Amino acid sequence: MQGLLRLARIIDALNTAVGRTAMWLILAATLISAGNALMRYSLDLSSNAWLELQWYLFAAVFLLCAPYTVLKNEMVRIDVVAGRLSRRTQVWIDVGGTLFFLLPMALMLMALSWPGFVQAFVRDEISSNAGGLVVWPARLLIPVGFALLALQGVSELIKRLAFLAGAGPDPGGHTPDKTPEQELATEIARRRGDLP
């Protein structure tokens, strides 16, 4: 299990680096959008290339930050029922969701999008818009993004199975809530000056 947990840490480090780097593309897209609008309204100049570059950057942020979002456990969840279940049951639900939904979806989309990238690359496809950009970099983002998402799914699966086997910490960073008695004891200790 320790070897698998090391693999999970490597995947986590990769997606952390990619996610943190891709976040800067939001700033780039914002600056390009502002610059394009400024040029269009002040000098009556515009370019489809700048608009398409904004779309490419948005796609890059979405596709390259999705695995980082999963890593940080920040994806949207509906915990109406699961929130009332034990932590182990919640982790089992995560394992099932990863095995039956996340991994098949990510692998299928990665496989289905690869031929589109290859075709665009081989043909050196250019956007149909006047002055548009080359298409293959945007098409490459799709299989790469879903490959990273599948890798993060493997990492999350390893961490959850390690937790269930008692060989790793809670992957959701969940700490049991304090009982009212523990909260009261903590507050009394804080007021006496025993705690900061």
Q: 8-62: per-residue pLDDT in tens?
A: 889 989 999 999 899 889 999 999 888 888 888 888 787 778 888 888 999 999 9
Question: CA 141 → CA 40, 48, 91, 118, 135, distances in Å?
Answer: 29, 20, 30, 12, 11
| H-state helical runs in 2-47 | 2-22, 24-43
Q: Is the pTM of this model over 0.85?
A: no
Residue closest to 97 by CA, chosen among 76, 111, 115: 76
CA distance 7 to 1: 10
- 191: tokens are 């007021």
* Residues 111-160 pLDDT 10s: 999 999 999 899 988 887 777 788 899 899 999 999 999 999 999 999 98
| Neighbouring C-beta atoms of residue 155, cutoff 10 Å | 26
Model pLDDT, residue 193: 76
